[in-house]
């Protein structure tokens, strides 16, 4: 017997943005499919017309594309047409399939029409609440005869699944064998009285007809899995392998709320994080490799190393510090040209005239920031002084580097170093400063930090010699003269 080709899917409901938990489920399915040469499918569960909005469809697909999670089969999105042989890939376009399969279950005696009204069902729930027992369907319509059904005429009806006797086994790759007594379920609705399929039927029909081999999803669906296994068996579809992984918790150990910043995957794009970082970090929220202690992974490494057997049962707690560290590591891994291309749009959006600068200059600017910036967005405060002359100086920096006893001497010495250079290079600047510090008996830090504040208005940023070289001799000397005059004038005013 040949092993079926791996076919995995993610099936989000487009009723909001791409949640980080949905992204995790998609990533695990995608990595598993890629590691086995299989197929990854994007399917949209959009049967709930009141909650579905096309802007959410767009946002969700955009989130997947930003992360680099490309689907092999899926719906139309933007300029990308629907692709795949098992479509359509939106539940709203598959209603006829659900109706057909529900009718088959009824014909085979595995489901039945339920004519109970909303008022009757509400009364049953109220009675159960009063008697302090779980609400269960009474089974009133379970054994209606053909004559009794005929009497109903055109009365509206839902379709309920006839839960069989015995037990249901969910053989879960992560959770292990889970056995459920079928008597714990009442006969659940699979088609509403308006003809719309309930989630349980729709997802099983879709998985069955799309030949899904592995259902990898959050463990909040483990309670649904019993119903789904029963439906798979009743419909005669091959049973996929299940793998229910833990949900993501926030830094306080609670379920990651949709209200939290970062729940929307695209929040991280806006905050300047790389998609490579997010793929790396999300993969670690429930998965570990066999290489103990390793946390930095490239996409290619994840494709090769990912296995379902290395997924954990315990919920993963979000760790912002680890995410920041990983983002820094991935920024360092970019080529300088690649980093330049990623930060230029941010600098343009900040209003800086980057396109007036030569490409070589821009690449060098990115290079001197690559070891410093924790996020792409930090490129703006790390480089704004290249495009706009500082209008003032950091207050704490002033007290520390402009108001000390030797501050003016340090600034004037730095200016002398600049004026005395025959070549304006990083090496010559560094050598001149080090020599002057020794000769003038000044700390090198006083020279460097005072100069940085004078040139940039800040106390942190790229390496001083590198930024001065890029800023240019004339501009650097001009800013030094302004700073020296400022120190002299403000000193006289305070005396």
Backbone angles phi, psi at 366, to 5 degrees: -65, -40
CB 386 within 8 A of CB 471: yes
CA distance 247 to 316: 7
Per-residue DSSP letters for 220-259?
GGHHHHHHHHHHHHHHTPPPPEEEEEPPEE-TTSSB--TT
For residue 332, give both structure tokens: 């360092």
Q: Is 146 exposed, middle or buried (0-12, 13-18, 19+ CB in 10 A)?
A: exposed
Residue 34 φ/ψ, nearest 5 degrees: -65, -40
List the structure tokens of 353. Answer: 């005239």
Task: Tell me if residue 488 is catalytic.
Answer: no
Category of 284 on φ-ψ map: left (φ > 0), alpha (ψ -120 to 50) or beta: alpha
- 3-class secondary structure, 168: strand
Give the closest residue to 9 by CA, choosing from 43, 54, 34, 53.
43
Q: What are the phi and psi torsion angles at 57 (to 5°)?
A: -60, -45
3-state secondary structure of 90: strand
Q: Kind and range of the H or E element at 215?
A: strand 214-218
What's the residue count for the chain?
495
Q: Annotated catalytic residue: which of 181, 255, 258, 322?
A: 258
Q: Give the long-range contacts of residues 335-341, CB within 8 A, separation 24 or more.
A: 336/363, 336/366, 336/367, 336/370, 337/363, 339/366, 339/367, 339/370, 340/365, 340/366
Residue 422 pairs in a beta bridge with: none
Tally DSSP H helices, then E strands, for the chain: 20, 11
Closest of 167, 160, 198, 204 to residue 182, by C-alpha: 167
Cα–Cα distance, 299 to 310 (Å, whole number): 17
Active-site positions read 258
């Amino acid at each position: 017997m040949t092993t079926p080709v791996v076919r995995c899917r993610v099936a989000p409901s487009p009723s909001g943005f791409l949640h980080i938990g949905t992204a995790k489920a998609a990533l695990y399915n995608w990595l598993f499919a890629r590691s086995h040469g299989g197929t990854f499918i994007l399917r949209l569960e959009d049967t709930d017309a009141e909650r579905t909005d096309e802007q959410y469809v767009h946002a969700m697909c955009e989130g997947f594309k930003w992360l680099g999670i490309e689907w092999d089969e899926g719906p139309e999105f933007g300029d990308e047409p629907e692709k795949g042989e098992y479509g359509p890939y939106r539940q709203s376009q598959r209603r006829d399939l659900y109706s057909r399969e529900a009718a088959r279950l009824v014909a085979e005696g595995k489901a039945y029409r339920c004519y109970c009204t909303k008022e009757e069902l509400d009364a049953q729930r109220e009675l159960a609440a009063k008697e302090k027992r779980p609400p269960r369907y009474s089974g009133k319509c379970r054994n209606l005869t053909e004559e009794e059904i005929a009497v109903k005429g055109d009365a509206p009806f839902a379709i309920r699944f006839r839960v069989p006797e015995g037990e249901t086994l969910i053989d879960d790759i992560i959770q292990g064998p889970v056995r459920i007594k079928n008597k714990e379920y009442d006969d659940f609705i699979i088609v509403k009285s308006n003809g719309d399929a309930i989630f349980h039927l729709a997802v099983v029909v879709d998985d069955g007809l799309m030949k899904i081999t592995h259902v990898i999803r959050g463990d909040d669906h483990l309670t649904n899995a019993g119903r789904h296994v029963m439906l798979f068996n009743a419909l005669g579809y091959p049973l996929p392998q299940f793998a229910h992984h833990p949900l993501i918790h926030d830094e306080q150990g609670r379920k990651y709320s949709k209200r939290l910043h970062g729940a929307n995957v695209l929040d991280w794009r806006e905050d300047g994080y790389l998609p490579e970082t997010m793929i790396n970090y999300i993969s670690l929220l429930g998965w570990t490799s066999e290489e103990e202690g390793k946390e930095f992974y490239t996409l290619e490494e994840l494709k090769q190393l990912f296995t379902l057997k290395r997924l954990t049962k315990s919920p993963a707690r979000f760790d912002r510090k680890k995410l920041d560290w990983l983002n820094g590591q991935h920024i360092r891994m970019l080529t300088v040209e690649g980093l330049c291309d990623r930060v230029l749009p941010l600098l343009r959006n900040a209003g800086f005239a980057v396109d007036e600068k030569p490409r070589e200059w821009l690449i060098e600017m990115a290079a001197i920031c690559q070891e410093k910036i924790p996020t792409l967005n930090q490129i703006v405060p790390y480089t704004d002084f290249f495009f706009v002359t500082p209008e003032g100086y950091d207050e704490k920096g002033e007290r520390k580097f402009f108001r000390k006893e030797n501050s003016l001497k340090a600034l004037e010495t730095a200016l002398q170093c600049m004026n005395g250079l025959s070549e304006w290079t990083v090496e010559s600047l560094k050598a001149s400063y080090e020599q002057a510090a020794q000769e003038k008996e000044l700390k090198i830090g006083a020279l460097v930090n005072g100069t940085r504040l004078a040139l940039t208005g800040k106390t942190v940023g790229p390496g001083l010699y590198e930024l001065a070289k890029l800023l240019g001799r004339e501009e650097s000397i001009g800013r030094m003269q302004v700073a020296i005059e400022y120190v002299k004038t403000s000193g006289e005013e305070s005396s």
